């Protein structure tokens, strides 16, 4: 209430936050209700987002802000899943096809994994774009269809419906055009409002750190992770987070169809070591939060996880045995300047190259190519000879090679000694 005993005008909330004051719970609820009714203009909400970008939200404000976003739409009821529910969210990276492996893997160990995923933008890929490389597979499911697939196969990966935290969709569009995307409270509330509304009982966050991640600095990633862990707990969702490295592409495939191929190879027990390490660490954490005593490594080894993946793909209209798209043109890239050991391979540069080849999009409405992408022929720790290509570029449009090659300038380094091996998982936060 203002000093007249009435709810404030939007301009009063903007001014208060601009001047560093906290927003009372009832004012935040009023703001969202009024915004969704069209009584608060986009220009005013944009101004408030900018004030929050500079002034932040304290934990009480953030809890109320997130609750208002959740309450702007429906909540899914996963009681019919028949198993303990647990989900995972990644903040995004290059070559991050973990969800494709992780959801069926954890399901094969006895949990229900309701994974609402997104599409790629810029240098980071999207889980839905990758799975849409599988012929017939559908990303858009009604809530009833989602529950049906979850009961049938133990896992589902699909798009969030329009009724789930609709305020987030509107706010994200404003943040995207007002340079306020990077605000940690706004990132945390955006991610957690959808995950809490999804109805899962437990959640593991994969917060990426490094050149290919949204958060390049560990301190920022740690702050984001802790903020989301706290929000989850405040809203009754058992939440933990792993900080994982994203200086180098995860695995060796970056793109859509090529990442599906690598994910399936991993489910067959033939995955690259770094991808397997991250996937198993997340799987163990998810099973721990779900209260399930199972060994995910055994589920990979004995074929249970692969069968679970195939069942999920079929349940969503896809054919797991169908051949995937292959690029019309391939070209070697990034020749080693000398004999030696690969010291680094910049994840962001490789992600931008894949995007320019057609695997990603600059705007949400842009199409993506299933076949385009990059294969890492060598990664840090591999021995190479002078002139040996470190990458293979794939595209259906030869004119894209020039832009992709330009993105790779300075993307790798070769040295005389093997680099130190660093674990992919940096730390765990939360329960």
Known catalytic residues are 89, 168, 175, 190, 194
Asked if residues 335 and 389 have their Cβ atoms less than 8 Å apart, the reply is: yes
Residue where the block lists tokens 């005993």: 5
Gap between the Cα atoms of 262 and 142, Å rounded: 29
Q: Which pair of structure tokens corresponds to residue 80?
A: 């019919």
Asked if residues 88 and 181 have their Cβ atoms less than 8 Å apart, the reply is: no
CA 183 to chain centre: 17
Task: Give the Å distances, CA to CA, from 101 to 113, 140, 266, 269, 379.
Answer: 12, 20, 7, 11, 21
Helices (H) and strands (E) in the chain, counts: 16, 13
Gap between the Cα atoms of 10 and 27, Å rounded: 9
Gap between the Cα atoms of 153 and 175, Å rounded: 37
Q: Which pair of structure tokens corresponds to residue 290?
A: 């779900």
Q: Which pair of structure tokens corresponds to residue 288?
A: 């721990």
Gap between the Cα atoms of 105 and 219, Å rounded: 31
DSSP string, 262-317: HHHHHHTT---HHHHHHHHHHHHHHHHHHT----HHHHHHTSHHHHHHHHHHHHTT
Cβ burial, residue 431 (10 Å; 0-12/13-18/19+): middle
Assign 417 to helix, strand or coil. Answer: coil
Gap between the Cα atoms of 165 and 69, Å rounded: 6
Is the dihedral angle over the CA atoms 103, 244, 368, 259 positive or is it negative?
A: negative
Q: Which pair of structure tokens corresponds to residue 371?
A: 């076949």
Task: Give the Å distances, CA to CA, from 83 to 135, 160, 201, 291.
Answer: 29, 21, 11, 11
């Amino acid at each position: 209430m203002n000093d007249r005993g009435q709810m404030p005008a939007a301009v009063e909330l903007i001014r208060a936050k601009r001047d560093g004051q906290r927003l009372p719970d009832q004012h935040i609820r009023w703001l969202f209700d009024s915004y969704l009714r069209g009584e608060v203009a986009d220009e005013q909400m944009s101004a408030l987002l900018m004030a929050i970008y500079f002034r932040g939200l304290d934990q009480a404000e953030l809890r109320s802000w997130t609750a208002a976003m959740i309450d702007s739409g429906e909540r899914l009821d996963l009681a019919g899943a028949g198993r303990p529910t647990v989900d995972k969210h990644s903040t995004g990276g290059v070559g991050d096809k973990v969800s494709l492996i992780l959801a069926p893997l954890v399901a094969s160990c006895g949990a229900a994994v309701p994974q609402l995923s997104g599409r790629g933008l810029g240098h980071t890929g999207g889980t839905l774009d990758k799975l849409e490389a599988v012929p017939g597979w559908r990303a858009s499911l009604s809530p009833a269809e989602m529950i049906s697939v979850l009961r049938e196969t133990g896992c589902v990966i699909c798009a969030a419906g329009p009724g789930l935290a609709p305020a987030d969709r509107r706010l994200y569009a404003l943040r995207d055009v007002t340079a306020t995307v990077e605000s940690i409270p706004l990132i945390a509330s955006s991610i957690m409002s959808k995950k809490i509304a999804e109805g899962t009982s437990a959640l593991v966050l994969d917060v990426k750190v490094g050149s290919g991640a949204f958060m390049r600095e560990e301190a920022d990633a740690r702050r984001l992770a802790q903020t989301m862990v706290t929000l989850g707990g405040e809203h009754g969702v058992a939440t933990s987070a792993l900080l994982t490295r994203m200086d180098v592409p995860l695995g060796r495939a970056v793109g859509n169809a090529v990442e599906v191929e690598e994910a399936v190879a991993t489910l067959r027990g033939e995955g690259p070591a770094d991808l397997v390490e991250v996937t198993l660490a997340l799987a163990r954490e998810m099973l721990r939060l779900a209260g399930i005593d199972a060994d995910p490594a055994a589920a990979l080894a004995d074929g249970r996880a692969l069968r679970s993946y195939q069942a999920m793909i079929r349940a969503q209209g896809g054919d797991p045995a169908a051949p995937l798209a292959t690029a019309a043109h391939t070209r070697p890239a990034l020749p080693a300047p000398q004999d030696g050991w690969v010291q680094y391979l910049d994840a962001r540069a490789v992600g931008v190259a894949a995007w320019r080849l057609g695997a990603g999009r600059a705007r949400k409405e842009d199409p993506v190519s299933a076949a385009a992408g990059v294969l890492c022929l060598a990664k840090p720790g591999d021995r190479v000879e002078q002139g040996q290509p470190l990458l293979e570029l794939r595209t259906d449009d030869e004119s894209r090679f020039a832009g992709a090659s330009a993105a790779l300038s300075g993307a790798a380094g070769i040295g005389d000694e093997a680099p130190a091996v660093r674990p992919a998982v940096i730390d765990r936060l939360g329960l």
